[in-house]
Structure 1
Amino acid sequence: MAGRDLRTLFGSNDRSIAAGEVFTNRQAQWRAVTAGLAEHLRYVGGPGFDVEDLEAPRRNVLVFHGVGGIGKSTLSRTIEASLTGGERRPAQWASPFHPVERTLPVRIDLARAAGMDFERVVLTIRLAIASLGRPMPAFDLALRRYWEQNHPGESIEEHLRRGGLLSRFSSAAALPDQMQSALADVAQALLLPGTVGTALGQGVGVLVTALRERRRSVRALAGCSRLADLLEAEPDVEALSFYPHLLAWDLAQLPPDKRVVPVILLDTFEDTGDRTHRDVERLLQRVVWLMPNAFFVVTGRNRLQWAEPSLEGQLDWTGPDAWPGLAPDTPSTRPGGADGAGGQILIGDFSPEDCEDYLARRLRHGGQPLIEAPIRRTIAERSHGLPLHLDLSVMRYLELRRRGRQPRVTDFDHAFPALITRTLGDLTTGERHVLRSVSLLSSFSVPLATRAAGMPQDAPALRLAERPFIRQSDSGVWPFHVHDLIRDAIRHADDSSDDRWSPRDWQRAAHRAFDALGAEWREDRRGDRAVLVGCLRQGLLLARDFGLGLDWLGDAAFRYVDDSIWEPLTLPAPGGGGTEGLRTAADALVETLGAIARRQHEHRERTAARLSAVLGSGLLPENLVELAAYYLAKAQRDLGLTDSSRRGMRRVAEADGRLASSARRGLAHLSRLSGDFPAAVEAAGRLGWEGRHHRVLGDVWWVQGDMDRATAAYRAGRDEAEEHGAAGERAMVQAHLAFAAAFTDPVQAGAELDLAQVLLAPLSLRSSEMTARIGVLVRDAGADADLPRRAAVLRTEIDVSGIAYAAAKLQLALCFHHAVLDAPEDLAPALARLRDLTHGDYAYYVEIAHHMAGLPLPEGAVRARWIDGEERTRERWRELVLARRRRLRVG
């Protein structure tokens, strides 16, 4: 549907610009309307429907709610136009599967700026029904009595003319005549002089008596059981709010072929009051309840709370039994209601495609989009799908052209203060304070929001959580987050509101939010990993952006690395990327944790470079230096830089800090790498659980060819990790256990490898994943002719990661395969490559490969210090090969 956008039209002198009002998408909402209306038509047309039943639950209301500027009013106007005539329906919207002739749409804007009071709401509904060309006798009689009492000396016709309603409804001029006709009929039936209107005092009394006695003279009205009571009541606004019952009754008396269903669209519902003052809302709810044969489409910023029992006493009908479709936990059954509950549907943001379509059609020049494609894409991306941002960007585009220069892409990296005004407009002071506070957080809960805002009670945060610009998700640690665009605007746009925050206010708020996150983590008795990571992500950004001290972040950082799970922290690097932006301790810690987590997905050279730069900056506090130093030493070990790794590990171990046990384990690993296995076993005896002693022993025993002792050590390490709730260590040890088991029993190894895959799946442990995948090749050694090709694929991935020891271990598995097949022509080049991969560290892999094949060691070969001596080690490895051959022959 395209109309004239007058505001844009008057924003430029260039008459060649076509400024069109654009309607985009919203097919899902239209489907919800047509489906709900069809369901309603079936209900009111059924044999059991009784318009005077005041106890039956009501399902005659559909609610669209959403943030300001999301397009609710545009949707309301378009629904009215589409139901008025098919030619005005947007091309994207399908035809309703019921005849629109059976509906009578009327839209009522409840905005304060529209000057709509309750009396005017009732008159608007009656004027729309006047188009049927029939009097509504019960309602008209009560309305005439109300009018004479409250507007003495003023005719309805004159009032409608002054209020502009006569010009809106073409049938409005007929209303006075219809009312006069109905009243004249009643006066004639009761033999009253003139009409009831001219003999109001006497006439009403006679009419009430006749109604109560069910006289045949007023048979047409006698069936309306509550008319007499309403005529006897004081004709004030309170009584007027019950008159819609009479209008509903009158509509039900029409012949079946003349009946219509009013579709009453109540827009800008939030302007009817707030959650404390519900006087107008109570009157409007009566209209909805008392007109069960009408269908209501409500659009506003907030959900209707009518289904909440807590409102009993503030409204006449409350609770889920009265309004089953409005209950928060009612699953949506209507098309397009996936984002809402039952009859309450959240208006979603535009998709990126819809945003660009809107911008392309909004301003046109010579039949082509005026706004260039790169600018359209930038605006669409910045808008996060909010139509108000698109509209403001269009006006900015015209303003820049008016200043005499061509707009550029950089002109639209812009936050609009109007977004703040629209968002804060109907919030209480407490809600505004909480909103600004939680805009510092990417997600939050009600208790976290209250603490971050420094509020003494939860009420403002509870109310804020119900606002449509607060999005809810069940997938994260905390359920709520502020709409991305609104959060950005509140943080960065110029705020001209009366209670705006100064830079010092924002700094104090950042301190509160930071402390609240620290308390949230420390008070988590379950030790939930997701809570730790969530607090760490948000706390690091606050500390970095506002120059805060690290405080609890140091403890949280050590806890993060303790379990070796490595969820990505996804923190943007300072200064747009790279260590050149390091300025504070928070910057350094962000970079440190980012490097540690990303090392599972980057080449180890990149990890080593990042951590070296952090240590070189001197920004890390003394208690956190060992964190960067230890993981730098690990990266150096993976890269084959053994001497540098040993120096780093020794420095961390001698400092005797939190990672001293891990560093001692690192030194034990380095002894193993060099082939000094007795030294590694001796070191393992001093490590304990903190140093992961069982894993260290397992790593020693498998290279001895003693897979039984290796798997026993790994199994003990896995059980110990499970006792301590260390998911990362458990998965890591399971991968090593599966690898060792693959040499002896392929069937058992299959089960162990499956378990390793399950334990590794939710984690990010790249080196352990490599170990498990090499274990799969060992399991299949000798049985799969395609194994060398599979090994080549895995070798490419290992080369990308920069994990040197994994490449050597893979080559050893390939040598095992060739030894089992007794294929010396394939084994020889495999041994040569293994020698190239193990200069210095892992040189004993070459010894093992010769033991497997029963080959003598070459002259001058470096020999390891084996636990049981070289000959016993040779026998064990050779027996593993021979056992695999026997198994394959039997198989």
Structure 2
Amino acid sequence: MAGRDLRALFSSNDRSLAASEAFTNRQGQWQAVTDALGEHLRRLTDPAFDVEDLEAPRRNVLVFHGVGGIGKSTLSRKLEAALATGGEQRPAQWPAPAWPTDHRILPVRIDLARSAGMDFERVVLTLRLALAELGRPLPAFDLALRRYWEHTHPGESLEEYLRRDGLAARFGKALPQQMQSALGDVAQALLLPGTVATAVSQVTGALVRSLRERRQTAAALAGCGRLADLLEAEPDLDALSFYPHLLAWELAQLPADKAVVPVVLLDTFEDIGDRTHRDFERLLQRVVWLMPNALFLLTGRSRLQWAEEALAGQLDWTGPAAWPALAIRDLPAARTPSPSAGGRQFLIGDFSPEDCEDYLARRLARNGQPVIDARLRQVITSRSHGLPLYLDLAAMRFLEIRRSGRTPQPADFDADFPALIARTLADLTPDERHVLRSVALLDAFDLNLATRTAGLTHQAPALRLTERPFVRHNPFGLWPFHLHDLIRSTLRTADDQTDDRWSPTDWQQAATRAFEALGEQWSAGETHDRLLLVGCLRQGLRLARDHRLDLGWLTEAAWAYIGDSVWEPLAPPARDHDTGTGLQTAADALVEILSTLARRQRENRSRTAERLTRLIDSGLLPPDLHDMAVYYLAKAQRDLGLTEDSRRGMQHVVAGGGRLAPNARRGLAHLSRLAGDFPTAIDAAAHLGWEGRHHRVTGDVRWVQGDIAGGAQAFQAARREGEEHGKKGEAAMSQAMRAFTLAFADPDVADDEIELAEQLLGPVDLRAATLDVRIAELLRDAGADTGFADRYQVLRAEIDTSGLAFAQAKLELALAFHHAVRDDQEGAAASISRLRALTRQDYYAYYADIAHFMAGLPLPAESASAARWLDGEQATRERWRALVTARREYLRTP
């Protein structure tokens, strides 16, 4: 099934090199064709089917479309070969066809490419020539065609035209004889004198009179109700476009042993015109509509628009009522459903990595073995993004490098092919090409963003561009359109030689326009539209970084991003051909700080501290963003147990009086709490207000006193305040701590609180809060035989990788509670020992005190912390011991 690739064959002197036109996969498209053909055959055998019904909706079209170089023409040729042999000569990957075997399938492939010189007249002739193999005239159509020919081509015989045009060589020379036979048969049936038997005008005139007068002599053709009208019409190109109705009627009259079902493959459909000039398309649409007993397989770059009402007047049949199966937006080719499900338009997808590997392995071979080695095939595959044209160009580059005497290396393919740009731009208008280059700067876009980036005042070019197959559509995205990845990267990096290629200044100006347009969209959006904020930040950060733009609106957007503690990933992809020179501009620094803050939820806090220290030392950030880095470094230091370093950072931010000053005051209150100075912490909480998250600070102080009700109430107030201000992160953190706190007291209540915390944490990325909920699940089950020890070990390993020292201490406290409930004195002592090792006098030392309280153990004076309990040590001890006693009673209750 693989044809010879003459380009590759004539690119090398190596005669042992086998250069084949490799064909890979496309099982989904083959399945769509076989399903559509099976449904088409069933419809033809339905007693209600009437080939002359010109009002019934049409379901005889299947469309495959995709970017240039995706393999549409190759698919069309393979389909033709497979259909011509009943599926026997099909690629090995394609399963056997399932259509009924009692139907004879006649594939007719017509290449509509401009280079093939195809016009509408040749399309009609090709259809009739393909049917010539039936070995019999089709008198209704043949008479009309003969009349058209003599009128339009006076003095030129059809036989000579077919010979000169090459059609006779392809289909044989039977058509002129069959047409002459049809003419003679009709003349004889009408009892016309032999001298006029070859005069088509007299024959058709007599036939029309016989049909109008319902004479018995025209009985053979009388069933074709519109034959007389067509023979009376002016035999011009417009009339020719209605003659396929006669062809369809003739096919319907064939006896069962002669019947055929044409499958017409119209390739390169985009070359018949454009979206403004639809003359050729209108003529072809008539052929499709007037031949409902033929199945048409269209391949081209663009989806078919016939089901759109707006084309009424430009085409004869439009709208979803006429073409119901074409009204559904592109279906994914990778998961091609049965066309009977409704859709008949399929976007041909890229090759999978496995298909790319298979293609390259078979593209160039010697003695059946791949010439391109496995390492090179992997590199080419990764850069191709699955585009077959790229694979083909890479194979030619491979041969070119070999001709130079070198062995191709992976680095030789770390480049783009300008030819991809030429192929992509080939059928675009100048304005569409301008918009295409502009949106190559964007990860995704809508019409307004594309128009603003291009610097145009009207959206029409952008609208037309979105209909192209290399523009992918995601109706659920913030911006619904994005370019094919390979085409986008090639447009931005390849040194193409097209007439309208852009200079560096052009790219810089477009980047500035795109950056400003994103800022305008964010500024005009809803205050709490997190999706819009993150989308604008991701694209804006990349533009500012890659094109060295001033921060502009990014500064305010960055503050909005950190304000909710959601921490979606923000880091844009590495620069194209990144030199690895590190931080150079304020935009580089802003990208680094925001991506660091997001990554800290998934990496060790020590790594976060290193990144933030490097940022602070770079001096690239403006003062307010510099304070942002200092504040979050201080938070990371606190999490790592570096309390003095953390205190200095928090004090610096408070002294600056900037936006994070309230947060830093909260940080200082937390440091007091960590040191066991609870009165100072609770007094500070009273002055923090909402901005300082006063309720959450209060809850953090209350629960360690054993005041479960007071702590839970404070965390509930913090959650509600977060919800009122639209701060999802604050609400989730507060609910996580409420669940943790209540898990000491009431397992049943804790169940509901844990479930709510998990729901609130779903849309945010907060590692510490997530760990709080995991520890709460352990606390809820403390004292019970539920695999507690194993679950503790798993969670401990996870916390170890995070670098969150406070979470390790909190987990150990949960284990101490478990041992106390089970009255396991040995286990309690071991937990107390580990707590001593995890804490210091200024860092959670009172956790060991609490473990003593829970286990009912005396607190040695030499190892007691310096904690200043709000109600004194004895009252605190009694509350913690009461929680242990209550859990024992709970577990004893049936």
Structures share a fold, TM > 0.5? yes
Cα distance change of structure 1 residues 197 and 376 upon mapping to structure 2, 3 Å threshold:
farther
What is aligned with 1:890? 893
Q: Is the contact made by 1:630 and 1:659 (CA closer than 8 Å) also made in structure 2?
A: yes
Cα distance change of structure 1 residues 291 and 318 upon mapping to structure 2, 3 Å threshold:
same
Cα distance change of structure 1 residues 333 and 561 upon mapping to structure 2, 3 Å threshold:
closer
User: What SS is found at the alignment partner of 1:350?
Assistant: coil
Kindly provide the CA deviation profile for residues 356-391 of structure 1, in whole angstroms up to 9, marking residues without a partner as x: 101101101122100010100111111111100000
What is the correspondence of 1:518-667 to structure 2 with a 5 Å cutoff? 518-525=519-526, 527-572=528-573, 581-667=582-668
What is aligned with 1:129? 131
Whole-Å separation in 1 of the counterparts to 2:145 and 2:18: 47
The number of residues matched between the two structures is 889
What is aligned with 2:114? 112
- Amino acid of the structure 2 residue aligned with 1:279: D
Report which stretch shifted further, 146-155 or 776-785.
Answer: 776-785
Report which stretch shifted further, 868-877 or 150-159.
Answer: 868-877
Report which stretch shifted further, 770-779 or 521-530.
Answer: 521-530
What is aligned with 1:878? 881
What is aligned with 2:36? 36
Q: Is the contact made by 2:112 and 2:269 (CA closer than 8 Å) also made in structure 1?
A: yes
User: What SS is found at the alignment partner of 1:258?
Assistant: coil
Whole-Å separation in 2 of the counterparts to 1:475 and 1:8: 43
TM superposition score normalised by structure 2: 0.97
Query: Does residue 1:709 correspond to 2:710, yes or no?
Result: yes
Q: Is the contact made by 1:264 and 1:297 (CA closer than 8 Å) also made in structure 2?
A: yes
What is aligned with 1:864? 867
Report which stretch shifted further, 799-808 or 79-88.
Answer: 79-88
User: What SS is found at the alignment partner of 1:602?
Assistant: coil
Report which stretch shifted further, 635-644 or 775-784.
Answer: 775-784
What is aligned with 1:261? 261
What is aligned with 1:503? 504
Whole-Å separation in 2 of the counterparts to 1:282 and 1:48: 28
What is aligned with 1:73? 73
Identity across matched positions, percent: 66
Cα distance change of structure 1 residues 34 and 469 upon mapping to structure 2, 3 Å threshold:
same
What is aligned with 2:477? 476
User: What SS is found at the alignment partner of 1:457?
Assistant: coil
Report which stretch shifted further, 396-405 or 494-503.
Answer: 494-503
Whole-Å separation in 1 of the counterparts to 2:77 and 2:335: 20
Kindly provide the CA deviation profile for residues 164-184 of structure 1, in whole angstroms up to 9, marking residues without a partner as x: 011111xx3111111111100
What is aligned with 2:855? 853
Whole-Å separation in 2 of the counterparts to 1:370 and 1:23: 17
Q: Is the contact made by 1:145 and 1:197 (CA closer than 8 Å) also made in structure 2?
A: no
What is aligned with 2:179? 179
Cα distance change of structure 1 residues 872 and 579 upon mapping to structure 2, 3 Å threshold:
farther
Cα distance, 1:196 vs. partner? Answer: 5.9
User: What SS is found at the alignment partner of 1:385?
Assistant: coil
Cα distance, 1:338 vs. partner? Answer: 8.1
Cα distance, 1:333 vs. partner? Answer: 12
Cα distance change of structure 1 residues 219 and 426 upon mapping to structure 2, 3 Å threshold:
same
Report which stretch shifted further, 480-489 or 789-798.
Answer: 789-798
Report which stretch shifted further, 483-492 or 562-571.
Answer: 562-571
What is aligned with 2:757? 756
What is aligned with 2:493? 492
Whole-Å separation in 2 of the counterparts to 1:182 and 1:406: 65
Whole-Å separation in 1 of the counterparts to 2:853 and 2:91: 79
Cα distance change of structure 1 residues 390 and 139 upon mapping to structure 2, 3 Å threshold:
same
Whole-Å separation in 2 of the counterparts to 1:760 and 1:576: 38
Cα distance, 1:204 vs. partner? Answer: 2.9
Cα distance, 1:774 vs. partner? Answer: 1.2
- Amino acid of the structure 2 residue aligned with 1:870: E
Q: Is the contact made by 1:329 and 1:341 (CA closer than 8 Å) also made in structure 2?
A: no
Cα distance change of structure 1 residues 762 and 420 upon mapping to structure 2, 3 Å threshold:
same
Whole-Å separation in 2 of the counterparts to 1:770 and 1:317: 62
User: What SS is found at the alignment partner of 2:743?
Assistant: helix
Q: Which runs of 5+ in 1 are unaligned?
A: none
- Amino acid of the structure 2 residue aligned with 1:226: R
What is the correspondence of 1:444-483 to structure 2 with a 5 Å cutoff? 444-483=445-484
- Amino acid of the structure 2 residue aligned with 1:571: P
- Amino acid of the structure 1 residue aligned with 2:158: I
Cα distance change of structure 1 residues 400 and 690 upon mapping to structure 2, 3 Å threshold:
same
TM superposition score normalised by structure 1: 0.97
- Amino acid of the structure 1 residue aligned with 2:637: Q
What is aligned with 2:54? 54
Cα distance, 1:576 vs. partner? Answer: 8.6
Kindly provide the CA deviation profile for residues 343-366 of structure 1, in whole angstroms up to 9, marking residues without a partner as x: 101111111101110110110112
Kindly provide the CA deviation profile for residues 401-433 of structure 1, in whole angstroms up to 9, marking residues without a partner as x: 111111001111121111111111111222111
Whole-Å separation in 1 of the counterparts to 2:6 and 2:575: 45
- Amino acid of the structure 1 residue aligned with 2:777: V
Cα distance, 1:330 vs. partner? Answer: 9.2
Cα distance change of structure 1 residues 711 and 851 upon mapping to structure 2, 3 Å threshold:
same
- Amino acid of the structure 2 residue aligned with 1:147: W
Whole-Å separation in 2 of the counterparts to 1:830 and 1:785: 19
Whole-Å separation in 1 of the counterparts to 2:197 and 2:285: 29
Q: Is the contact made by 1:738 and 1:749 (CA closer than 8 Å) also made in structure 2?
A: yes
User: What SS is found at the alignment partner of 1:106?
Assistant: strand
What is aligned with 1:323? 323
Whole-Å separation in 1 of the counterparts to 2:131 and 2:8: 35
Report which stretch shifted further, 682-691 or 285-294.
Answer: 682-691
Cα distance, 1:203 vs. partner? Answer: 3.3
- Amino acid of the structure 2 residue aligned with 1:829: A
What is the correspondence of 1:713-752 to structure 2 with a 5 Å cutoff? 713-752=714-753
Whole-Å separation in 1 of the counterparts to 2:122 and 2:529: 56
Whole-Å separation in 2 of the counterparts to 1:605 and 1:133: 84
Q: Is the contact made by 1:193 and 1:199 (CA closer than 8 Å) also made in structure 2?
A: no
Whole-Å separation in 2 of the counterparts to 1:247 and 1:579: 67
Cα distance, 1:202 vs. partner? Answer: 3.5
What is the correspondence of 1:810-829 to structure 2 with a 5 Å cutoff? 810-829=811-830
User: What SS is found at the alignment partner of 2:823?
Assistant: coil
Report which stretch shifted further, 407-416 or 524-533.
Answer: 524-533
- Amino acid of the structure 2 residue aligned with 1:889: R
Kindly provide the CA deviation profile for residues 532-552 of structure 1, in whole angstroms up to 9, marking residues without a partner as x: 111111110110000001111
What is aligned with 2:391? 390
- Amino acid of the structure 2 residue aligned with 1:49: F
User: What SS is found at the alignment partner of 2:840?
Assistant: coil
- Amino acid of the structure 2 residue aligned with 1:862: S
Report which stretch shifted further, 466-475 or 802-811.
Answer: 466-475
What is the correspondence of 1:65-464 to structure 2 with a 5 Å cutoff? 65-85=65-85, 86-97=87-98, 98-99=100-101, 102-169=104-171, 172-194=172-194, 198-328=198-328, 336-337=336-337, 342-464=343-465
Cα distance change of structure 1 residues 201 and 127 upon mapping to structure 2, 3 Å threshold:
closer
Q: Is the contact made by 2:65 and 2:301 (CA closer than 8 Å) also made in structure 1?
A: yes
- Amino acid of the structure 2 residue aligned with 1:274: D
User: What SS is found at the alignment partner of 1:262?
Assistant: strand
Cα distance change of structure 1 residues 579 and 24 upon mapping to structure 2, 3 Å threshold:
closer
Report which stretch shifted further, 354-363 or 876-885.
Answer: 876-885
Report which stretch shifted further, 17-26 or 871-880.
Answer: 871-880
Q: Is the contact made by 1:105 and 1:265 (CA closer than 8 Å) also made in structure 2?
A: yes
Cα distance, 1:329 vs. partner? Answer: 5.2
Q: Which runs of 5+ in 2 are unaligned?
A: none
Kindly provide the CA deviation profile for residues 143-163 of structure 1, in whole angstroms up to 9, marking residues without a partner as x: 111111111111111000000
Cα distance change of structure 1 residues 222 and 368 upon mapping to structure 2, 3 Å threshold:
same
- Amino acid of the structure 2 residue aligned with 1:230: L
- Amino acid of the structure 2 residue aligned with 1:167: A
- Amino acid of the structure 2 residue aligned with 1:28: G
- Amino acid of the structure 2 residue aligned with 1:75: L
Cα distance change of structure 1 residues 853 and 258 upon mapping to structure 2, 3 Å threshold:
same
Cα distance, 1:341 vs. partner? Answer: 7.0
